[in-house]
Amino acid sequence: MFSKALITLAAAGLFQQAVALGPRGHQHQHQKKDLITEVQTVTNWVTVTLVDNGPTAAAVVTPKTFYTRSRKTRSRASLSTSIPVASSAPPAPPSSVVVPTTFISETKAADITAEAFRGQPQPAPSAAPAPVEPEPAKPAPAEPSAAPSAAPAIPASPPASGGNKRGLAYNDGGLLSRFLNSGNKIGWTYNWGQLDDSNSGLEFVPTLWGKKMDFPDVWPKNAQKGIDSGSKCLFSFNEPDNGGQANMSPSEAAAAHILYMNPFAGKARIGTPAITNSNQAGEGITWLSSFFDACGGNCAADFVNIHIYGVDTTTFLQHLKNVHNKFNKPVWITEFAFGGSDDEVDQALKTVIHEMDNNPEYSFVERYAYFMAADGMMVKGNSLSSYGNTFAYGS
């Protein structure tokens, strides 16, 4: 995954402004580390895009285009592509925070290889947009042949995991202990990567993420390692409907899902590719519907994986129902965030947590994770933020 020089919006205020932009304003890099090994900051709004140029990955910096929606929601701000330049650069971010928008303008990439991008484990992660640890010998790559036109019968999935619905999405495993004191309601964790470096004892969910770099090559070994270590579920691709993330067509994703995810059917519960809540043509629910069409009934998928940004609590809860009504499968929300002050975010989080945990209308929600367990967000120094505390301990 990425080096420790992570490019982020460390300030909570900037993050809340970013999530208020709506689904298309949410474009971020969900990898464990950053591709940039050396960074110079000139304080302009830009977007960093990963480009796979053979054995060397590059970080391409392009102007940020802000998407605005006609639907009005709480704390929604209409922004154009003209953003005032900040008077000073933001404070240095924590080692592994990943947020929707990047606040830089110039970068230097040095010796960025697929290996550096992937990062591999120590006692934990490796091969994917995840961990921060020494790396063991690189697993032998799988031999991806063309995806079969028809997959064999999909084995029955194991029963749904028990325990609490709430999970921690993180990059820095050292922050998780703050969430795990007596009375916590956290049941699982993930880091957008393939191996667990949380040292938390929580159930870990490996993520294939995409077809970039050598993620698919190391996936078979790492997914099996996770299952052998107690992982009961696996995530497929990260926002393939988003050009800044896995960026795949529904048919391409269906073929790859059959090839890389189906072999684990019956061994673990398998999620669909994680989609955004974008309402743009060919994205969000529409993209996932096309994915299932392309699967032709051959894709192992036990639950639908979704991300939600830039909406109020009413719209959030309605979107959950829309997804469930469309696909008739259990739903996981593996990223979501609300805009506003910490107090406003805290109140919104209390509202949706109460519904998802207690209202039978949302019994189809199996698990959810707020974005994210990082300093300046759910963590504030040595303590949790108000909404971080609500997520970990609130009812």
Q: What is the pLDDT of residues 304-342, one digit of tens each?
A: 999 999 999 999 999 999 999 999 999 999 999 999 999
- Per-residue model confidence (pLDDT) at position 46: 34
- Per-residue model confidence (pLDDT) at position 169: 98
Residue ranges and CATH numbers for the domains of the chain are: 12-118 (no CATH), 166-393 (3.20.20.80)
Percent of the chain with pLDDT over 90: 58
Q: What is the dihedral of CA 44, 46, 52, 54, to 10 degrees?
A: -20
Integer angstrom CA distances of residue 366 from 139, 209, 210, 278, 393: 32, 21, 23, 22, 18
- Per-residue model confidence (pLDDT) at position 359: 97
> Residue 101 in contact with residue 95, Cβ under 8 Å?
no
**Is 145 exposed, middle or buried (CB count within 10 Å of its CB: 0-12, 13-18, 19+)?**
exposed
**Rounded CA separation 239/202 (Å):** 24
State pLDDT tens for residues 100-156.
332 222 222 222 222 322 233 323 333 333 333 333 333 333 333 333 333 445 665
**Rounded CA separation 89/234 (Å):** 38
pLDDT above 90: residue 369: yes
- Per-residue model confidence (pLDDT) at position 259: 98
Q: Report phi then psi at 238, rounded to 5.
A: -95, 105
- Per-residue model confidence (pLDDT) at position 395: 86
* Structure tokens, 282: 């060919």
- Per-residue model confidence (pLDDT) at position 339: 97
Mean pLDDT, residues 215-240: 98
Mean pLDDT of the chain: 72
Contacting residues for 375 by C-beta, under 8 A, at least 6 apart: 10, 94, 97, 172, 175, 381
- Per-residue model confidence (pLDDT) at position 90: 35
Q: Report phi then psi at 209, rounded to 5.
A: 80, -60
**Rounded CA separation 17/344 (Å):** 13
Distance linking the first and last C-alpha atoms of the chain: 35
- Per-residue model confidence (pLDDT) at position 198: 96
**Rounded CA separation 264/219 (Å):** 11
Q: How far is CA 237 from the centre of its chain?
A: 9
The pTM score is 0.67
Which one-letter DSSP state was computed for residue 317?
A: H
Confidence of residue 163 (pLDDT cuts 50, 70, 90): low
State pLDDT tens for residues 254-281.
999 999 999 999 999 999 999 999 999 9
Measured on CA atoms in the order 205, 206, 211, 213, is the torsion positive or negative? positive
**Rounded CA separation 237/241 (Å):** 10
* Structure tokens, 309: 């940004």
